[in-house]
Amino acid sequence: MKSERLELDTSDVKLADQILESMPDSSEEMLQITQRLLNRERQHGRYIVRDQLARGGMGVIYTVYDQDLRRTTAMKVPSPQILHQEPKVSSFIEESRVTAQLEHPNIVPIHEIGVIEDSSLPYYTMKLVDGEPLKDVIRMIAREDPDYVRHYTRHRLLDIFLKVCNAVAYAHSHGVIHRDIKPENIMVGKFGEVLLMDWGLAKYVDAEDNTAFEEVQDTSQIVEHNPSRTEDGVIKGSLAYIAPEQVLGNPSEIDKKTDIFLLGGTLYQIFTHSPPYEGENMMDILQRAERCEYEVPSKRNPRAQIPKALERIILHAMAPAKNKRYASCQDLIDDIEAFLAGRRSGGIRQFHVGQEIIKAGDESKETFVIISGKARIHRNVNGRNMTIAEIGAGEIVGEMAGIGQSARTATVTATEDTEALIITYDLLLDELRKLSPWMEKIVFSLADRVRLNSRYLHPLLLENRIFPLVNQLFLIYAGAHVQAEPGTPISYPLKDVVDEVTMNLGLDMARTAKVIDILTEEGLCSNVAEQLSIPSLQEFALFNDYCRCKMDINTGVKKSGEIQLIKDEDCRFHRIVSHLHEIDV
């Protein structure tokens, strides 16, 4: 690695001389004053070691108390087994220097580097994060711990990931790559802090990786290692996450896009709860990593219901070939931010007059928001093209197919030149899943009921509503005749009949009354003192069949067909139907 060197010019030297000249003659006296002011609890050494925080192959981290600044901080020292390996100790020192140069809110700040008093052990101190590794957070979510599940929503997890991406993007802007990004190296604080830790494998992308690591000649040695542990030999990184180019151990192939792959692997574990590579032993994992052989996130953890748009981001970052990955961290950041902001519509589309926006029977899942223009929703019923509704600017169509898995049940045709915003299926489902689980279930349940009911066309949607109304009257009185004694006249208050028909069919009450008035005028019904009856149920049944036949109603148990009428009856029924048409039932 390379590090910045501090060069002193002439002015720096002169300033240093002035400072020394201004100091008291007795340096011993000054030292005593300083020590008294610092008031250290222990006089030998600035730091008091408290507890061991973590231990790895390259270093050990302790919590220590800084007597001078009176705060608890973290101290990292090299592992005992590398103390006599100068290249690795040098790498330890360079780690602190590289990290210290990366001053970013999401990169752990380095406080000091030095040598422990009365020893040859180097150390550096850094901020102590009051939190836990992201790996532990993911593990608790996988266990469905209610506190973690409630707190770490998809949005919050992606916000954590974005902060890590920003840290990596900042390092890349300074020519530094991390090479060991994984959930274990990401600390999550209690108050929103996110810090990317462990820059022990970091290097400048334009520098030679000339650290003299020992090569692993016997591959059986690898089998004994932990897959999530950082390897620092020829293969640098954690085997469960590494990019294919890291397996080859060629430093020239490892660059900023390697970090992008590792970021993708981190995002992979956030939502699948598992690292990309797992196997029976390390050699198995190594071979999987070399072939970039990992399971698609949605298949790895189907219960997580990973949105397709988010899965595409993961797969893009983890592409086996470097030229297929994101060109930069910023591109990855932009896609995550777009996902969070919901900017995943399918764009705006123009439709000309007569052009179909949606076609019945299609299995497309887009939802359309009309920006300008008008369109007609229509459906083929019994061979006739029935208009269901007219829609205009601000109205939405196609959302039912988006929520459910059914095909389109109606056609939507532009009646004017129309502009529509297309909402993708992924975005619609993602927005629904932001709701509380019980609210999401209510929405899907209502959608299922509407979809079921839409199979049966409501009379209000028919261009001609005469037959449903006449048939309803017939059913009311036919049912009463079955239960009554033969020859017993059946009558009901007119108001009750109108209310019953209106309630059952959902038709307008005034129009229902007009239909009954016409039927009464024509003798099919009788109204005496506001008591409505049907003089001849047999004749009314014949008229009901006539309406079914003339309106070509072919649904239900009884199919329409030719009925035998004498000429006078045919003329009379035709006249009654024509009269009913005039009131636009």
pLDDT bin (cut points 50, 70, 90) of residue 23 is low
Residues 322 and 253 in one domain: yes
Q: Is the pLDDT of residue 211 over 60?
A: no
Q: Which of 453, 486, 502 is the last residue of a domain?
A: 453
pLDDT of residue 305: 81
Q: Is the pLDDT of residue 461 over 60?
A: no
Residues 318 and 356 in one domain: no
Of these residues, 66, 159, 180, 499, which one is catalytic?
A: 180
Percent share of the chain, pLDDT over 90? 34
557 contacts: CB under 8 Å, gap ≥ 6: none
Please indicate, yes or no, if residue 529 is contained in any of the structural domains.
yes
Q: Quick one: average pLDDT of 197-216? A: 62
Please indicate, yes or no, if residue 35 is contained in any of the structural domains.
yes
Residues 477 and 418 in one domain: no
Residue with the bigger pLDDT between 342 and 137: it is 137
Q: Quick one: average pLDDT of 428-456? A: 65
Q: Can you tell me which residue has the tokens 């929103």?
A: 192
Q: Is the pLDDT of residue 447 over 60?
A: yes
Q: Is the pLDDT of residue 399 over 80?
A: no
pLDDT of residue 27: 64
136 labelled catalytic? no
pLDDT of residue 546: 87
Q: Which of 341, 372, 405 is the last residue of a domain?
A: 341
3-class SS of residue 180: coil
Please indicate, yes or no, if residue 3 is contained in any of the structural domains.
no
Distance of CA 522 to the CA centre of its chain: 64
Q: Quick one: average pLDDT of 186-214? A: 75
In order of 8, 59, 110, 157, 199, the CA distances from 100 in angstroms are: 20, 17, 5, 27, 10
Residues 140 and 267 in one domain: yes
Q: Is the pLDDT of residue 451 over 80?
A: no
The structure tokens listed for 521 are 């005028």
pLDDT bin (cut points 50, 70, 90) of residue 2 is very low
pLDDT bin (cut points 50, 70, 90) of residue 559 is low
pLDDT of residue 223: 35
Q: Is the pLDDT of residue 385 over 90?
A: no
Q: Which of 211-220, 384-393, 487-496 has the lowest mean pLDDT?
A: 211-220
Q: Quick one: average pLDDT of 293-321? A: 90
- Range among 17-31, 288-302, 371-385 with highest mean pLDDT value: 288-302
Residues 290 and 189 in one domain: yes
Alpha carbons 49 and 67: distance in angstroms, whole number: 11
Please indicate, yes or no, if residue 563 is contained in any of the structural domains.
yes
Residues 207 and 317 in one domain: yes
Please indicate, yes or no, if residue 4 is contained in any of the structural domains.
no
pLDDT of residue 565: 72
pLDDT of residue 336: 92
Q: Is the pLDDT of residue 264 over 60?
A: yes
Q: Which pairing describes strands 47-55 and 59-66: parallel, antiparallel, or unpaired?
A: antiparallel
Q: Is the pLDDT of residue 420 over 60?
A: yes
Q: Is the pLDDT of residue 327 over 90?
A: yes
Determine contact, residues 372/543, Cβ cutoff 8 Å: no
Alpha carbons 509 and 423: distance in angstroms, whole number: 39
Phi, psi (deg, nearest 5) at residue 358:
-135, 145
Q: How many domains is the chain built from?
A: 4
Residues 18 and 92 in one domain: yes
- What sections of 370-465 are H helices per DSSP? 399-403, 425-433, 437-453
pTM score over 0.75: no
Q: Which of 453, 480, 500 is the last residue of a domain?
A: 453
Residue 95 is part of a domain; what is its CATH number?
Answer: 3.30.200.20
pLDDT of residue 218: 33
Residues 431 and 468 in one domain: no
Q: Is the pLDDT of residue 334 over 80?
A: yes
Q: Is the pLDDT of residue 72 over 90?
A: yes
pLDDT of residue 577: 87
Q: Quick one: average pLDDT of 226-240? A: 58
Determine contact, residues 470/544, Cβ cutoff 8 Å: yes
Residues 398 and 336 in one domain: no
Residue with the bigger pLDDT between 130 and 529: it is 529
Please indicate, yes or no, if residue 2 is contained in any of the structural domains.
no
pLDDT of residue 220: 32
Residue 447 is part of a domain; what is its CATH number?
Answer: 2.60.120.10
Residue 555 is part of a domain; what is its CATH number?
Answer: 1.10.10.10
Residues 174 and 136 in one domain: yes
Helix, strand, coil share (%) of the chain residues, nearest 5: 45, 20, 35
Q: Is the pLDDT of residue 176 over 90?
A: yes
Q: Quick one: average pLDDT of 480-495? A: 82
pLDDT bin (cut points 50, 70, 90) of residue 352 is very high
pLDDT bin (cut points 50, 70, 90) of residue 376 is very high
Residues 170 and 287 in one domain: yes
pLDDT bin (cut points 50, 70, 90) of residue 226 is low
What stretches of 382-507 adopt beta strand conformation (E)? Answer: 384-391, 396-397, 411-414, 418-423, 491-493
The per-residue pLDDT for range 287-300, each reduced to its tens digit, is: 898 899 999 999 99
Please indicate, yes or no, if residue 1 is contained in any of the structural domains.
no
Residues 261 and 184 in one domain: yes
For residue 398, give its domain range: 347-453
pLDDT of residue 320: 94
Residue 169 is part of a domain; what is its CATH number?
Answer: 1.10.510.10
